[in-house]
Structure 1
Amino acid sequence: MLRFLLPPIFVASAAAAQQAGPPAVASPTSGRSVGRGAQPDLSAVASAKADTIPDAVVAIARSTPAAELRRQLFALAAPGMEGRRMATRGDSAAARYVATRFTELRLAPPSHRGYYQPISARRRTRTATLTLGSHSYAFGEGWILHPRSDSMQLRNVAIVYAGADSAFGFMNRLPDLHEKAVLLPGAAFRSGRFEAIARIEKTLRDRGAVAVLWTDNLVTRILGRRQANAFLPEYENSLDEVPAGFPEIGVVPGQMSALLAGESSLSVDSVGTISGPQSLETFTLQSTLSLEVKSAYTTETAPNVLGVLRGTDPDASCIVVTAHRDHDGLNGKTLYPGAVDNASGTVALIQLANMMQQAARAGHRPRRTIVFASVTGEERGLLGSSWYVSQPVMPLEKTRAVLNIDMLGRVDSFYKNRRADSNYTYVLVEDSAGVGLMNEVRAANAAFNALHLDDRYTRPPYYQRALRGSDHYPFFRKKIPFVCFSTGFNEDYHQPTDTPGKINYVLLTQQTQLIFLTLWNMANSEGR
């Protein structure tokens, strides 16, 4: 699952909230639900729909081979796959592995080029310099920038100190802000008050400000994580929706202390709290700010792997099943195998295709065509799924819904530490078209197994992380309904310790069974 699409402060705050644990959850509803009011009882609907799944199809689900899932997962997470980073020989090897399985299963290639859909991505190398007063700092040297703009230049910009009021009571007394930067309280960034920050920044932009400056020891923690991930390449990302040209510059408290050295009325502690006789006042600092950002690009290619199972109704819409196969690759000689993220989803996708072909041979070919998409570049910014959405093999207007699989077979930190029952899956559904996706999930779960369907990721502060963090998001932006299955974040997330030996293959099998029957319902329900 993608780490880098959201602002780093959002990811840090969401991770902290996860450790705290959510409130008690109810069963998912048919679509996004963030409230805690009474939920509609859909059990009767689900039971009725479960009765429409043919016995032969349920029998295919019951026969899901845990040993085969294990064998394939060990193969995809093996050292020879080199961690499957996009545009490396490891990802190419994994793509060939998936294409070979599609060939064995006799899925139809979507075009004359076979199973491969080449994507192009622009790899970015960035240089930047921040100057605060008389001190200059290279990119990443004690400061962070969001959004990570391609190019930017600010020269000798005056800095308006807004005051240390984290409730933003200073807004009515700010001076002229034209072509100036505004120093905001860091506590708002630390506490994750992003909606409030966005409102304040819009007002500042409207009043002519060109940047926001803030300080907190959170910047130190973010820089530590970035240093650990410095081996990972960065790519141009069309999904970053933060307005360009209005940077948020976060600096470590030490740099802010140097900036304020000439301000006898202000000082900053090691946490980043600014204090002093004038700490609640608003005024222009003596020092100025300069920022220069430059980027260079190279183009890289990598393949999505697509296989098609034709349905019985040529006029019906299609279903797209996605699971990214890429991960973080090698850091020197250190392997990031990505067993949960997302070799698990990849083997589940292969098994879904296998079971659907078994159903077809048994006389139960699905009504809708199904596109099985092993996409690349998810970890680098949803690149493969974004490419598919821009160049679909079936028209988007004929795509009824997307089923996305991202991380199965491991109990996450919440369930491991706080819940005895680990027979669960997180379900995120967005069904603005009202095609009944949640009913289809419930009906599949009612057929047998009865996993706990946890709706945690429909709730703040988790919703945005889950919505924007995986391959369903480019489809969602095109108003295509989706359902995503996941088991959440465990302690080995994006670590070299995410190994196939730690997978719970019983849980992986149960989740794959549920997803198969959900796919069956999605591919055979009424409607277009």
Structure 2
Amino acid sequence: MRKILIPVFAIALLSSCETTKVVTKEKGNAQPTSKVLSKSEKAFQSAYNEIKLDDLKKNLYVIASDEMEGRDTGSPGQKKAGEYMINFYKEHGISFPKALGSYYQKVPSTFMQQRGGRNLPDSENILAFIEGSEKPDEIVVVSGHYDHVGTKNGVVYNGADDDGSGTVAVMEIAKAFQSAKKAGNGPKRSVLFLHVTGEEHGLFGSEYYTDNPVFPLANTVVDLNIDMIGRDDPENRGKSYVYVIGSEMLSSQLKVINEAANRKTNNLELNYRYDDPNDPDRLYYRSDHYNFAKNNIPVAFFFDGIHEDYHKPTDDVEKIDFSLLQKRAQLVFTIAWEIANRPERITVDKK
């Protein structure tokens, strides 16, 4: 996440026309109560189960390794991380937007320098894409930045949480959607998996995308942005929670969808402490969702808080709570699944 100086396991399909729980725990009954699954519920359950703790761990140990040199914007290490991500998508049969012609959207150094990016070199956003079966022109975006702050005085800042955790979560969510598509149950709307660059220096990659969208912003339904979901902060130590920011700023429906998805999956504590544009920490403005929100696109930002290793060389993989990371990734997948498959797109009814 950009630094500024300003002072379940109960599984459910959340389709709008089908809201039956798949596995529940009845009050006073320690044993799960199974219910008959519809075809669409089975598709959801199977895809949901593809978000695996061991795969999150495997990918994060690579993305946040010393070999990636802290993934500073445009650096050789960041490019290595990008190549690893693209190979992951190729391995799972997940392609790129046809209009783009590759997984890369170049973000020119001139663009970043004009916005205060000093001497940053050219960099790239990385885009993977699954086309919708019924409403392919409507786009659900799942985003996270894959850059970090690089190496300082010979010390690698690995950024395992910031935002290695979001990076591997987006990859696993994409894999889950692709598994459903392979089984003949792909999303009705298209889903764009957007890994942006230059976040730490000024949200440059997401700004470049929204200034130069591959898909019209008018057709973009939502941005679900994941930035730091692998740790806990001091005031929530040991809790199963996630901060959610911005979910009711532009659409009254999005927060309702988020909370329904949460109740019917891992039932995390959804913490809205920072869910205010006037909050002194200004987190609504500090990650890549904001560049979508300022274009009137509903957003939800998922975040674990400011912990003691934020922007320090000690933000390492060994400190990641992978069980909590998995639960948070599953929540975002469930929300994306609902939005991608509901009959009508969510509405913008707030300003």
Q: Does residue 1:527 correspond to 2:344, yes or no?
A: yes
Taking the aligned partners of 2:111 and 2:296, their CA distance within structure 1 comes to 28
The residue number in structure 2 matching 1:261 is none
Taking the aligned partners of 2:308 and 2:138, their CA distance within structure 1 comes to 40
- 1:486-505 equivalences under 5 Å are 486-505=303-322
The two structures have a TM-score, normalised by structure 1, of 0.57
Shift of 1:385: 0.3
The residue number in structure 2 matching 1:357 is 178
Which residue type is aligned with residue 523 of structure 1? A
- 1:186-205 equivalences under 5 Å are none
Change beyond 3 A, Cα 1:486–1:356: same
Shift of 1:397: 0.5
Q: Does residue 1:446 correspond to 2:324, yes or no?
A: no
The residue number in structure 1 matching 2:279 is 462
Q: Deviations over 1:456-477 (max 9, x none)?
A: 1114763762111000011111
Shift of 1:414: 1.6
- Give yes or no for contact 1:122–1:297 (8 Å, CA) kept in 2: no
Higher deviation after alignment, 323-332 or 441-450: 441-450
Instruction: Name the SS of the counterpart of 1:402 in structure 2.
Output: strand
Instruction: Name the SS of the counterpart of 2:235 in structure 1.
Output: helix
Q: 1:402 aligns with which of 211, 223, 226?
A: 223
Q: Radius of gyration: which is bigger?
A: 1
Taking the aligned partners of 1:348 and 1:438, their CA distance within structure 2 comes to 21
Aligned-residue CA RMSD (Å): 2.5
- Give yes or no for contact 1:410–1:487 (8 Å, CA) kept in 2: yes
Taking the aligned partners of 1:489 and 1:50, their CA distance within structure 2 comes to 35
Q: Does residue 1:120 correspond to 2:89, yes or no?
A: no
The residue number in structure 1 matching 2:34 is none
The residue number in structure 2 matching 1:51 is 20
Which residue type is aligned with residue 237 of structure 1? R
Shift of 1:58: 2.5
Where does structure 2 lack aligned partners over 5 or more consecutive residues?
Answer: 8-13, 22-39, 346-351
Change beyond 3 A, Cα 1:59–1:452: farther
Which residue type is aligned with residue 114 of structure 1? S
Which residue type is aligned with residue 108 of structure 2? S
Instruction: Name the SS of the counterpart of 1:379 in structure 2.
Output: helix
Shift of 1:317: 1.6
Taking the aligned partners of 1:426 and 1:49, their CA distance within structure 2 comes to 27
Q: Does residue 1:507 correspond to 2:324, yes or no?
A: yes
Q: 1:411 aligns with which of 232, 240, 250?
A: 232
Shift of 1:112: 5.3
Taking the aligned partners of 1:103 and 1:407, their CA distance within structure 2 comes to 25
Q: 2:76 aligns with which of 68, 82, 89?
A: 89
The count of residues paired between Structure 1 and Structure 2 equals 320
The residue number in structure 1 matching 2:190 is 369
Q: 1:66 aligns with which of 25, 31, 53?
A: 53
Instruction: Name the SS of the counterpart of 1:56 in structure 2.
Output: helix
Q: Does residue 1:378 correspond to 2:256, yes or no?
A: no
Shift of 1:372: 0.6
Taking the aligned partners of 2:334 and 2:226, their CA distance within structure 1 comes to 14
What percentage of residue pairs aligned between the two structures are identical?
Answer: 34
Change beyond 3 A, Cα 1:62–1:103: closer
Where does structure 1 lack aligned partners over 5 or more consecutive residues?
Answer: 14-44, 125-234, 239-295
Instruction: Name the SS of the counterpart of 2:251 in structure 1.
Output: coil
- Give yes or no for contact 2:51–2:173 (8 Å, CA) kept in 1: no
